Structure 1
Amino acid sequence: MVEAVPDWLSSAHQAVTTSSPRGLESGQTVQGPVGERTFEAHPIAQGEGAVAWWLVDDTDLRLARRALQVEKERTAFLTQASNLLLSSLNLERCMDVTAQMAAEHLADAALVIAPAHGRMLPVVSCLRGGTPARTSLATDPSLVPGLSEALQGFPPVPSRWIDPAAAPAWLLPEGFGTVGSIVITPLPGHGVPAGVLVLLRRSDHAAFTEGEEVFARLFAARAGAAMSAARLYAEQASITEILMRELLPPTLHQISGVDFAGGYRPSKDHERVGGDFYDVHPATVEGDASLVVLGDVCGKGLQAAVMTGKIRNTLHALLPMAGDHQRMLSLLNTSLLNIENARFATMVLASAARTGSSVQLRLTSAGHPAPLILRSDGRVEEVSTRGTLVGVLPNLVTQTAKVTLEPGDACFLYTDGISEARGGPLGDAMFGEERLKLALSECAGMPAEAVVERVQMLASQWLGSGKHDDMAVVVISAPRTNHLSAVNGRTRGRFTA
């Protein structure tokens, strides 16, 4: 009978009977295995120093506790993974995090393979305890069992179906050693597969169990959702950037001997576009005038910017009529009246042509602040042009004025975001037209770019940190020099188209 008692129970019995059996009243117990089961042994004192043992089979309880602990650890891991993956909308960062977390918690090494770009497969690999490494491989995924199917979003094949010895060299991270088992599972995305997760274990480690493969799929679902969101965000950001580029005001320079400069500040510093806009359209025929357009669409932000885009495109289509401001604005007015939920706009057109050393201007305002002329001696004149708003009344009426700019003179076009900027010492006073004229008079003789920068700086100082409307400025000036080079009308530091 002694030989049939397990060693752990025999040792416990000897220890108890050697000491005082009365100490058993404290309820001390011992645990140990009996075959494939585990038992908890409770000693009970008998007469004359004898001890009896009551054995309770706690195998199922221990397994349940272990399973509960494993589930808690897995839940904590998935929560951590979700937080890390969703904290970034950068696709490369998501791939790095996925590979690193999978290598640390699920396998000895992990690879994240994104859908192919042409013939190249973007791959991120990571060893346990290492850092992710990115590469692009020109390889055929069909050579790895289950990889091509997983990239298309099909369910994973069981790891027991994959022969580790058939794994190609590119699948094994450098220094990994001999692979013992492989799990290949898709990374599901939002309607489109986000890629594939490959888990590797070394040959001296236990193979993946069915439960581990199921858990890997749970992790892959979270990683795939994060990667898909990051890819979608990147695509939307790219589209937004392309569209935004079309809405941004152009960079101005010298055209046909006339200096142009512009500046724009949206109503919100985190936005890039708004309801103010300007364009300069060079003359298509030598000797004709270039057309300057500066406008202000009702409203702020992206919705106003969309309307500015429509107006700019319409004006571009009407360029063959640029010589007739009234007709051009009337056609634009009709176009806006026919657009559902269109916003009205104020606008000023300026045709500028170089004649000898001077610049001839024709200026037409449509409900817009009158242009200001800055003479080389510091005088500031208001141009007598006016007109009705664009997009409000069926019949648009305007009055065109003609102005000559001598060398050193400049024409200043602006939106009401400049003159109506509120700030100052008390924070509620408008910058105003008189203050603007005084600021311009101090810019006499400055290049067009310097005039723009000076006015923008003064308006910003006046505003401080207060709210403001969109602000746009365009300066047209007659250069003081007549010396143009013989090569395409270029001068040092300037460009002439």
Structure 2
Amino acid sequence: MAQGGIVRRLDGIGEKSVGGTLATLLSLTSDAVIAFDGLGRVLLSNDTAALVFPHPSGGLVGCDVRSCFPLSEDADPDAPFCPDDLPFPMDGSSKQLVCQAGDGSTLDLTVRCDRVPSAGETYLLVAVASDAAAQAERENDRLVQELSRANKRLSGTLGIVLGTLDSGDVMTLFSRALEEITNTMEASGTVFYVAEQDGYHLRGVSKSLAGARVPRYLSFGQTIDALAKRAGRALRLRVLPPKGDELRRGRLTNREVVNEETQEVYRLRAGKVPPFTSFIAVPVWFGGQVIALIEVGWEQARPLQREDSELLDAVAQYLSVQLVGAFSALRARRDGELRDSASQVRETLMEAGDLTPESRREVTDEVERALDATCVEVRLNQRQGNTALVTTPAGEDLSVPLDFEQVQRLTQEDGTAVMPLEPDDAASRALAEAGMPATGAYVGLGRIGDDALGVLVLRPSDGEPLDESELRYLGRVASDLQGLARGEERRKQDKRISQALQTGMRNELQQVDGITARGIYSSATATAVIGGDFYDLIRLPDRRACVIMGDVSGKGVEAASVSAAVKTALGAYSWQGLSPARMVRLLNEFLLGFSRLETFATLFVGIVDLGSGMLSYCSAGHPPAILVRAATGEIETLDVQSGVVGAFHEMTYRNGRVRLRRGDVLLLYTDGTTEARAADGSFFGEDGLRDAVMREVPRGYDGLLDRLLATLDSFTERHLDDDVAMVSLRFDMVGPSDAPREKGEVSGA
């Protein structure tokens, strides 16, 4: 008996050595030889028998031996086989018969048949042409047929060598070799497996097998590869018909395969048997290791010749050198495909910005496409530990045991984990019993909020497991999903913090006697909660006021925190009676120690003295304010400029001064106003703002800012790139009395 537990018995021929001797004898003799069992089923035959006796296109093997001879008149060919139906004795004595040959002619034969002494009921029949001339003609036909086959095999072998020599393209190499082998051997098809770390993975089938059910994966040592590796050469194999009790069970879980050289019978899993009745399994060796497995097969049972297996061994020896380089190229190509897919997933997530149902579906579709697998979401089973719930195709909940201790050991720093599912895992068995795909991996996405997210990536039960490059791919995708989910959680937290900050630092314009003030704020995005733009008007003693307009770089919590700090600090400085430049200088030092990020701000800080009619200001990197003279309608820009705040120590800040008159209007704004873009990319700009101001001020102060914002919306088609803030101040009571209105002057200090 062969080792490994897959050899069950001998197929009625006797011990292995006897079977091998018989097979060799059949290939050497010019007599027609047939072996058949007690059911009349032909077990073995040689080429001469194929020439002498009529048979189906698939050959004599498997046929009813009665179809080779004329039966007695009372014999029923449809009845169960009975040795008495045959027109010759079964005791080894000779019998002269006139039979119809395979080509339709009649032939005088001398037939001898005897039972083989063995455990099974087996008979051996030898037929010789009675006419010496006829026998010589049959021998000539046999030799011509062998020579023709040899020529075709030689031509096909040369075609394989020349067609694949130095092939630079992996798939071209595979496809050419498969088609040449199929044509050379006059086979129904050829399949090709490559040895990976975990088993043999299907990497090619001939065109004739398109749509056929071909095993996609063969595990090491449990199937045909073990037999071929043990023999060290190609094996000629035949799949035996299932027995009646197996057919009655409805589903074949195992099949019996006979070795035509030794007559050993192997019991294999049905899902691992190729779609052939007769086939040759060819190991491809390199450096003492089997690197690939080729299976060449025929749909119908037929006798397989030793020279055919030897030829395929020679082809495999040539291909091994070509394939070693091709495998490296194939793996590199596959790794590249998975990297591209991972990049596509990352781009999808970046565009989506958060884990919406649509973005999750896009990611799932890409993973399923890249791995030719199915993704099934996993829910933790709260009632039973170490199990998870999945939804079956029937819509029912299925409890799947998962080794979460192993998941924990595999968990990375970001909380993700990828755990392969082994064929004998409890999870795989539970999925297979439910009729679901059961080969693949569990991917843990970590804990987001109160939920632990996970997914099963599955292939059919008989499919190939996920290899190392595919598992690494899942790890990259899981990390990207985890990063986005955590980012989404942080954004939600930032939103709550920003809302709290906004509540505590609303943009306010205090009521100041003698000043009519208006403010407006427009966010660049509908989802924005708070940005870096802010403004304030603070009422001070002695008919004085402090007006502030600022823009902090960035968005979210950092910008909101800095904005809140700036407003608080400036409010405190304004009550100390400091000049605007002094206030900004102190603020600069404060900000440089306040933020850990490279955050800076632009500011306009103005101190209005209504009694003296003077405005002192410091414009620190901020767009120049606009002053509209009530008397003339002319526009002045307050263009004494200093550097930004919070960027560098030892920054110099200057004060500007301008005289105010009753009815003058001061307009402050952030750079989101002038840097707004139209659809063609053009900027609104300072000129656009000045034109809009000159057009809208004569229409009255009430609603001025609303009209300016409407003009901006029309220009940008309501697509702002940055937040917009504007403040307008109209000076209604200036000086101790109505002094003559004269043109104001601007000076630097």
Name the TM-score class by shorter chain. 0.3 to 0.5
Higher relative contact order (CA 8 A, sep 6+): 1
> Whose Rg is larger?
2
